[in-house]
A and B are shown apart, each in its own frame.
Chain A
Amino acid sequence: MTIIGTSVRRKEASSKVTGRARYTNDMNVPGTWHALFVPARQAHAKIVGIHTADARKVAGVQTILTAGDLAPLLTGDVTEDRPPLAKDKVRYWGEPVALIVARDESAAQKAASLIKVRYRPLAVVNSIQDALKANAPLVHDNIGSYTVATPPASPRKHSNIADEANMIKGDPDRFLKKCSVRVKVQVSLPQIDHAAIEPRIAKAEILPDGRVLIQASTQSPFEVQKQVAKYFKLNPGQIIVQVPLVGGAFGGKAAIQLELLAYLASRAVGGHTVKLVNTREADMATSPVGMGMEAEVELGATQDGMIQAAQMRFYMDIGAYTDSAPRIARAIAAQCTGPYNIEHLHTDVFSVYTNHTYTTAFRGFGHMPMTFAVERAIDELAKALDQDPLRLREQNALAPGHLTPTKARLTRSNLGHLPLCIEQMRRVIRWNQAAVEPIDAHRVRATGVAAFWKTSSSPPNAISGAITLMNSDGSVNLNIGAVEFGPATKTTAAQILAEQLRIPIDQVFVHEDVNTAVDPEHWKTVASLSTYMVGRAVMDAADDMVRQLKSIAAAILRCSPDDLDYGGEKIFVRDDPTIALRYQDLALGYKYPEGDSIGGQIMGRGRFMIRHLNLLDQQTGHGRPGPAWTVGVQAVEVEYHRITHQYRILKAATVLDAGQVINPKAAAGQVMGGMNMGLGIASREAVHYDAQGQFLSNQFRSYRVMRVGEQAEQYLVEFVETPQVDSPFGARPLGEHGVLAIGAALANALSRAANIPLNVLPLTPEVIWRAKGGKAYGAL
């Protein structure tokens, strides 16, 4: 292998350092009209009236839509419960209530300021606790009437429970009681925002022939195509979705929201091109965020630290609408043990409606908050047993032959090697058995660890494809349906193609954007699955090209295709490589010296469909949620001040089983960026609501993410390489994983340093101070 395993530069690198990389909002057709929505300024209220007459008088305003102007429509990834514009009542602060289309932005803004919505406030469901109270106000009055478009989901009638997923394995009640050591941990995590720096945007245009053109910053172009078709009774083929480079996504751009509004806006003005772009405030408060969670995890173990049984309850604050919550709930249920073998298990996951901003996938698809809960419990168990926390994790690690909570059988190939990761981590962070080391009178140094595993939770029929076209010089154009939003997805695909065709990487040209009209379908660019799925399709396309090259070369060279081999951009006779044809001689058909020609353009078709997956059984939770898992261990070293509760993050480290690393630098960058995000989330990020449910943190000054100088002083990444045999070159997914357990590792470090269990995020000095009893500083 010459290209796999090397740090090739990402294909769009030079565009990105020259300002030439183009994102959706960088390409505007002159004459585009502006759409703007009016957000609710109540979290839960009946809409009594919407006064639009004054706004309509603003020069340049083309139309104003409210729910009353639209045919009844409910949308949703799983349960269809969300109207594109609030109907009858608003369910969260920020929910779109009216949609304005105007010639320009300022007219739209002026009109927005003139729209008066009259509300009758309802009691606000402002927390999971509020939602679960007896006689709680209902966020949705009649959830029993909703269509579950993509089962499974089990809404509970006349309640705020949008879904409930359960998992039972063995006999947890009996075995938990028998355990000599038991720990119970309750964690509480706020909602968080994806905070991609590019705000979400969608443009729509309807052509006179009925085709709908949508351009958007989305991770799911093919899903946008299908959903727009379904909701507006069009044929999917009529709908063309184009996605340029995307400026960060993190799961937040997998949800479909602005695309529907942009379509409605365009339709209302005769198909004119309309653009709808979020302000930062709308991107945070109106578009979906990441879920909050309250969870309780109880673990039981033997005296020598073998975990026997567990009982877990997860309550997710999914906000006002379901979106993908039931799928996330099942992902949590399926991996709820963490990468540990626990024979007896009972887990319930509840998706709870509140009057908060609705939620969608967030990097890790539920595994980050789930891992936080489980890894806090494991660390408390280590403390209760007085055991080395890494050793405890190692001795309970899942191994080939074990069954996952959903009874999927594990092999070395689909599981990877956690004990090797742990072994390597000891060296990487110079493991001191979690001892707390004093630095001076007030400061101590401590290290926390946590492990993770994750699989894709993809639908059992997820597909991908690749189309490759050879140019006259023998170079190859590669078309795939995966979006580029940062992880070098397209470059990875190019590496796989170059390796497989044995051509230099700069002979591969990738289409930076995705266009559903020309690119083969790719399920969604989510779940870190692109290397696996796209990669397999690309290999298939490369093989297809090689077959074509060989068959035409065989005719020209008068031999059997079996006599031929390839390399160096040539097809040659295996035992005499001087008898050869260059790719460029065959690319567009071969011209004989006599002038006549045969063949045609060399073009490869590659397909891939995920196999052997199934949906989890609703009663038992059994099934197979993904093709393979990625395992790893993370560590954080902190310096903590015992009086002020402030801390510095000295080191953050990840050792992850990556299978074969395709691009070491890109892979390390993904993991480092993930750690930084995870540490930001664990240390400072939180969506805050006031007592009326108003979203308070809708700017970067109120929703604080990591900035330079706050990151760990050192980021360390190492890989273990246990091949996943059915993946291209054995590579495993790693895009999301840096984020998964790093928050837990931070909490574990601080819990040791502060000598108190810290189970509430974000871990600000104030939160630690409260956990310590919240007393005055005394001597200070």
Chain B
Amino acid sequence: MRSLTRPEEVTLTINNEPREVIIYPGETLLYTLRGDALGLTGAKPGCENGDCGACTVLIDNIPTKSCLMLTVEVEDHSITTVEGLKHAPIQEAFLSQSAFQCGYCTSGFLMVGHALSLQGAADQGRLVEWLRSNICRCTSYQEICDAVQSVVRSEVE
């Protein structure tokens, strides 16, 4: 039986790399990612209850709010954070559409957009549905939707 309170070492697959970290069983994935050991601060706390999406990462390529997930739940899954995007088309699209201002929501939106682009074709309804999970207080969303649309469409073509 695993302890419910004692720290333990787990191996996580983050951005295609195995990483050993010591965690508390009650720790959220957001907390683990941002902690000193991993230092992946691209995922941001904005509400820590699933409302804002600033903490979004991909678990097996599905956008997931890392504030709602315990680290122990994702041991056998593949985690992608914004730091793991290497010249992904969504990043270029965000740059060319100016799809951010303060940038605090950006990692989260990038991850949703990236996941959508991996899904191949997505219609407008799907795009809206996926992007509704996140909040941006600075932009008009038009820029973000245009950026995401551009990478989703390029998958179709």
Contact = CB atoms under 8 A, between A and B. Distances in A.
A248 B83 CA distance: 22
Nearest to B24: A106
Interface string A4-36: 000101101111111111110110101000000
Interface stretch (B6-14, B43-51, B58-66, B70-78): B43-51
A21 B102 CA distance: 10
B42 A708 contact: no
B140 A711 contact: yes
Contacts of A231: none
Which of A17, A199, A279, A670 has the most CB atoms of chain B within a 10 A radius of its CB? A17
B102 A246 contact: yes
A539 B94 CA distance: 31
A700 B42 contact: no
A25 B135 contact: no
Interface residues of A, number: 58
Contacts of A488: 101
B95 A18 contact: no
A280 B51 contact: yes
Contacts of B42: 18-20
Interface string A705-717: 1111101101100
A673 B140 contact: yes
B139 A672 contact: yes
A715 B98 CA distance: 15
Contacts of B82: 18-19
Identify whether the interface residues of B are mostly helix, strand, loop, or mixed: loop
Contacts of B52: 197, 280, 700
Contacts of B38: none
A675 interface: yes
Given A9-B95, A669-B143, A701-B51, A17 B36 contact: no
Interface in B27-47: 34, 36, 40-47
Q: Which of A16, A28, A248, A666 has the most C-beta atoms of chain B within 10 angstroms of its own C-beta?
A: A16
A542 B141 CA distance: 37
B103 interface: yes
Nearest to B81: A19
Nearest to A247: B104
Contacts of A423: none
B137 interface: yes
A19 B134 CA distance: 16
B105 interface: yes
A20 B44 CA distance: 11
Given A18-B85, A248-B138, A280-B46, A672 B143 contact: yes
Given A247-B102, A279-B48, A711-B141, A17 B136 contact: no
Nearest to B103: A16
B49 A673 contact: no
A198 interface: yes
Contacts of B141: 676, 706-708, 711
A523 interface: no
A196 B135 CA distance: 10
B31 to A, nearest CB: 9
Nearest to B34: A26
A304 to B, nearest CB: 38
A665 interface: yes
A279 B43 CA distance: 16
Contacts of B103: 12, 15-16, 21, 245, 247, 486
Interface in B130-148: 131-132, 134-145
Interface string B97-110: 01011111111001
B91 interface: yes
Contact of B140 (A30, A249, A672): A672
B54 interface: yes
Contacts of A706: 141
A699 B51 CA distance: 8
Contact of B98 (A22, A23, A669): A669
A670 B132 CA distance: 21
Contacts of B54: 197
Interface in A692-746: 699-701, 705-709, 711-712, 714-715
Contacts of B95: 9, 13-14, 17
16 contacts: A9-B95, A17-B94, A17-B95, A17-B110, A19-B107, A20-B42, A21-B106, A23-B104, A197-B52, A197-B104, A247-B105, A279-B48, A669-B98, A669-B143, A673-B138, A707-B132
Given A13-B95, A673-B139, 17 more contacts: A14-B95, A18-B85, A19-B82, A19-B107, A20-B83, A23-B44, A28-B36, A197-B54, A250-B137, A669-B139, A672-B140, A700-B47, A705-B135, A707-B131, A707-B132, A708-B144, A711-B141
Interface of A: 7, 9-10, 12-23, 25-26, 28, 30, 194-199, 245-250, 279-280, 485-488, 665-666, 669-670, 672-673, 675-677, 699-701, 705-709, 711-712, 714-715
The 7 tightest CB contacts between A and B, nearest first, are A19-B42, A247-B104, A19-B82, A16-B103, A486-B102, A486-B101, A700-B51
